Amino acid sequence: MTPTASDPWPALPFEAWRGTYATLHLWTQIVGKVRLVQSPWINHSWHATLYVTARGLTTGPIPHGHRVFQLDFDFIDHALKVAASDGRSGQIALRPQTVATFYARLLALLERLDLPVSIRRMPNEIQDAIPFDEDEVHRSYDPEYASRFWRILVQADRVLKIFRASFNGKCSPVHYFWGAADLAVTRFSGRRAPRHPGGIPNLPDWVTQEAYSEEVSSCGFWPGGEPVPHAAFYSYTYPEPPGFAAASVQPSDAFYNHDLGEFILPYDSVRESESPDDTLLRFLQSTYVAAADLSEWDRRALERSLDARSAV
């Protein structure tokens, strides 16, 4: 369904799109693993992420010998599109189909374009995961809800980039991590962090330990799952300083989830507010300030005013 400008923050009831969400999550993992296996390793796994576009999600350019190619989820035409630097291209329709079928079709398409790729078949960060080529369980795809999800990502991406711009220190891009299916941006204090314990399902501990090798304050959007069965914005810090869970943050609908170790702001609280942008920015800023102050970050060195942009 074509998106409309009149509904930039659409409703996303969890139960209504649970099946599509589960299937789409696995499809994005397959596409993300193609980028991962073909790309030079970048710290914190930044080489593996996807990015929001005006039509969906993209890998950006992926090297393959002297050529490059990219994979694009198009949630307007509802297709996964492949484009190579030599002008060759192809696509797979996004419609109800099993994960095993999607996996086979994508690898076959890449083979036809002389872009053979071999990926690890096991999903990451999912309990009781099924190998992609054996998954005949997940097969739902509702284009309306896929479109709603993407339209929310467009808005979240836009506001997270505003928030990112006021930080001078090391900071990630705003990017989609297909492991947990979240859109995230991460700020760094510049100090090393204690060794992370790991323990994330179907993810090697060394990946998690490298990702959290430095002190961070991270935030983003998550479509939901256990133990938060609704779409939400989140914010956390690692290592978590004493007092963080009890910090006063805005808006009043935000709360600390002890199971996740994160502050949570329900998506509907943002969507239904008078100014979704302002509501979300208050949440992002207040949770970051709580993390930075309690962890004694050098905020004077790490932060900057955005006033200069009007003079360019």
Q: How far apart are CA 154 and CA 107, in angstroms?
A: 28
Q: Residue 168 contacts by C-beta under 8 Å, 6 or more apart in sequence?
A: 301, 302, 303, 304
Contact 283, 249 (CB under 8 A): yes
pLDDT tens, position by position, 18-49? 999 999 999 999 999 999 999 999 999 999 99
Instruction: Give the number of other Cβ atoms within 10 Å of residue 158's Cβ.
Output: 13
Which of these, 152, 157, 146, lies nearest to 76 by C-alpha position? 146
Q: Which letter, b or e, does each residue of 163-180 get, where b requires 16 or more Cβ atoms within 10 Å of its Cβ?
A: bbebbeeebbebbbbbbb
Contact 144, 262 (CB under 8 A): no
Positive/negative CA dihedral, 293, 295, 299, 303: negative
pLDDT tens, position by position, 61-93? 999 999 999 999 999 999 999 999 999 999 999
Average pLDDT for 194-207:
97
Here the tokens at position 188 are 């760094």
Average pLDDT for 106-117:
98
CA atoms within 13 A on the CB side of 307: 1
Instruction: Determine the pLDDT at residue 55.
Output: 98
Let me know the angle formed at the C-alpha of 267 by 262 and 272, rounded to the nearest 5 degrees: 140
Give the pTM: 0.95
Segment holding 46, helix H or strand E: none
**Strand ranges of the sheet holding 175-177, from the earlier edge strand across to the other edge:** 175-177, 182-192, 214-222, 232-238, 262-266, 255-257
Of the pLDDT bands very low, low, confident and very high (cuts 50, 70, 90), residue 2 is: very low
Q: How far apart are CA 151 and CA 115, in angstroms?
A: 31
Secondary structure letter of residue 172 according to DSSP: P
